[in-house]
Structure 1
Amino acid sequence: MADSGQARSAADSVTRARDIDRAQVSTVLDAAYAEGQLGAQEYHDRAARAGTARTLGELERLTADLQSPAVFGGQAAIERKRFGRRHSGEYPARTRARDVDRARTTAALDSARADGQLDADEHTAFTELASEARTLGDLSTLVAELQQRPAAPVKPKARNTFRIATIAAAVLVGIGCFGWTVREDQPAPAVAAADAINYNAAPPLVIPTPTLTTLVGFVQFRDDYRVKFGDTLVDEAVLHDEHASAVRRAPGNPNWTADYGYRGGFARSSSQITTRKRDAIDIDLAQVNAEALGAALTNAAATVRVPNGAVTHFRIANDSWSGRPGITIFVRNEVAQSGHFVLALSGEVLKTYPYEG
């Protein structure tokens, strides 16, 4: 008799997928592409297949070799739902590598060269292989003989949200009962009129941040970026409705990059710096035709034929398909129908991947 894992796998292979299942897989693919786990063509192919997948098995095969991606603009890991299977331990060797995994391996090779574990030729060869590695197994092989090796990434643990919610509810009920028991049967003292006037005299000033996936939002982001860094050069920028991220050359070291998050202001996403990608180029946000971008964002749903669609985010980076800087705009609706298209910085449409439902 087959064990429960095999039985579940067999059931998943024929169980029909819901729109929310397709949407979850599309989100994982979006993040994996941004992290460098997938190339442009692989991403486009998988995204198209996710939108037309009929079973859970088809969807699982699209993400089976991916790591659970990090949330844009933060360090918390997104738990990839694996249709009932548990997450534990390290990823298999065939799992796709992220840019950060390649950077950590390169840093380990640099340290090994510095302390004499590798000679110059070995270091050069291994570093080149690390930059081109596709899987965690490929990277692990390069550092297998070193004394100090980077820690292997592990799968995020699932949170028992039901248990947490139950405990929280019990605590709140207990606090409420305690407060009711010890409350005095006397009215609360009235607040003095003068105090009330002073309290209301200077209400806090709240300056809302515009939605970043609009013309106004992009201009605000670009202006704040110029103020923060003194220029408008990026390797990559990703803008969502309420937050954004940017990758640029590390201060004082043009061969490394640093990551920044943006929520009305810029802050380092982590203290680490990583080796700059070989194909990275300086992209000048000042060269983006903001008016053309705004028009493209406004008409994005019609451009990719997504009914009632909305822009989820857009990415400014060196586009591998066109070989030049581009702006990729992603659109999705509530039933997981999606599409995307690529603009030149001037606003010219370079490539369209419409929804074909």
Structure 2
Amino acid sequence: MADSGQRRAAVDSALRARDIDRAQASTVLDAAYAEGQLGAQEYHDRVASASEARTVGELAGLIADLQSPAVFGESAPVERPRRRAPGEYPARTRARSSDRAATVTALDAARADGQLDADEHAAMIELAEEARTLGDLSTLVAELQHRPAAPTKPRVRRDRTRLTVVALAAITAVAGFVWTVRDDEPAPAVATVAIVDYDAAPPLVIATPMLNTLAGFVQFRDDYRTKFGDTVLDEAVLHDEHASAVRRTPGNANLTADYTYRGGFARSNSQITTRDRDAVDIDLAQVNTEALGAALANAPATVRVPDGAVTHFRFANDSSTGGPAIVVFVRDEVSRSGHLVLTLSGDVLKIYPYKG
């Protein structure tokens, strides 16, 4: 049991730290300094180390010898790596586009809450987009505090298989009976079944805007309202051709479900999860579309990536203000990147420019 506890502690210590984790560690250090547990120089050194910490283990080491480390322990529980469940695909299984999209969404969230810096985020996004297997994608998010659910194998419907066997047996019996009918007896009338060649019909192409544009957002919001009857969600990420959304489940405000969007909404997995304690209600109807359009158009220049383009933008809670925000990500062809944070009304909260 001791070995198991040590392994769990080692796993926890390797998890990426969020901005809120660094802030909570600093709170502990502030209290310790005020109570006389730390001298001035040691206090300033530890605060500086906390602001630069990359993992939960580094932060834990800075407060381990203090009398009030429980404040740090009040952060939201983190997900630990687990063994592959019986229904999950092995790591060598080829990844789908939706699997890569889920990984990109997780990496975006990790960048937004401070687990990844801009360079790490850009490099991992590029690897996710080129990943060939589920194992490749799993490696990219192994150290994150919130990881996408692993895809699972569909269940085999045994009852449908049995019905198919019965139907084939019935068809065989009928065919045998028809074969034994004498030639001098009139053959029973056989109904003519029309065969429709669906491939012959021209495909119906419905033009849709790129989702990482203002027109794409408006389309996404309208379809969201049509699907769910409101415009409230916990989080949404809009890429060029696909998007994702997290919203509360009907009848239980403490649980959430994940959805993907590709011209229509569908559940991305069958899991229901506990609502993030940092989540806030985000009403897409409150978005100032005129200000958002201007921010998207000016984003490359704002973050000092003039040849870049908006790759995606995210609606989520901003940990520094505790309110809804829009995070706009920009990147160019040589992976120079930056992002900015807006309120729903379009006011700029923070700018993270490219520093190359």
TM-score, normalised to structure 2, is 0.51
Cα displacement string for residues 247-302 of structure 1 (whole angstroms, at most 9, x for unaligned residues): 00012211100000000000000111100011211110000011111111111111
Distance 1:30 1:261, change over 3 A: closer
AA aligned opposite 2:241: E
In the alignment, is the contact (CA less than 8 A) between 1:234 and 1:282 conserved in 2? Answer: yes
AA aligned opposite 1:98: H
Cα drift, residue 245 of structure 1: 0.2
In the alignment, is the contact (CA less than 8 A) between 1:318 and 1:325 conserved in 2? Answer: yes
C-alpha distance in 1 between matches for 2:285 and 2:351 = 24
C-alpha distance in 2 between matches for 1:219 and 1:280 = 23
Matched, 1:97 2:145: yes
Q: Identity of counterpart residues, as a percentage? A: 63
| Equivalent position of 1:303 in the other structure | 302
C-alpha distance in 1 between matches for 2:202 and 2:105 = 40
| Equivalent position of 1:40 in the other structure | 113
Cα drift, residue 350 of structure 1: 0.7
Matched, 1:79 2:136: yes
Higher RCO (CA 8 Å, separation ≥ 6 residues)? 1
Distance 1:221 1:96, change over 3 A: closer
C-alpha distance in 1 between matches for 2:266 and 2:318 = 26
AA aligned opposite 1:256: L
Cα drift, residue 81 of structure 1: 10
Pairing 1:114-129 to 2, within 5 Å after superposition: none
AA aligned opposite 1:274: T
Cα displacement string for residues 328-353 of structure 1 (whole angstroms, at most 9, x for unaligned residues): 00000000100000010000111000
Cα displacement string for residues 294-323 of structure 1 (whole angstroms, at most 9, x for unaligned residues): 111111111111031011110001111222
Gaps of 5+ in 2: 1-100, 152-197
| Equivalent position of 1:349 in the other structure | 348
Distance 1:215 1:96, change over 3 A: closer
In the alignment, is the contact (CA less than 8 A) between 1:342 and 1:351 conserved in 2? Answer: yes
In the alignment, is the contact (CA less than 8 A) between 1:210 and 1:217 conserved in 2? Answer: yes
| Equivalent position of 1:55 in the other structure | none
SS of the aligned residue for 1:242 comes to coil
C-alpha distance in 2 between matches for 1:29 and 1:271 = 17
Distance 1:70 1:278, change over 3 A: farther
| Equivalent position of 2:222 in the other structure | 223
Across the aligned residues of Structure 1 and Structure 2, the Cα RMSD in angstroms comes to 3.7
SS of the aligned residue for 2:272 comes to strand
TM-score, normalised to structure 1, is 0.51
SS of the aligned residue for 1:295 comes to helix
SS of the aligned residue for 1:298 comes to helix
SS of the aligned residue for 1:270 comes to coil
C-alpha distance in 1 between matches for 2:330 and 2:135 = 21
In the alignment, is the contact (CA less than 8 A) between 2:299 and 2:310 conserved in 1? Answer: yes
Structure label with greater radius of gyration: 2
In the alignment, is the contact (CA less than 8 A) between 1:35 and 1:99 conserved in 2? Answer: no
| Equivalent position of 2:329 in the other structure | 330
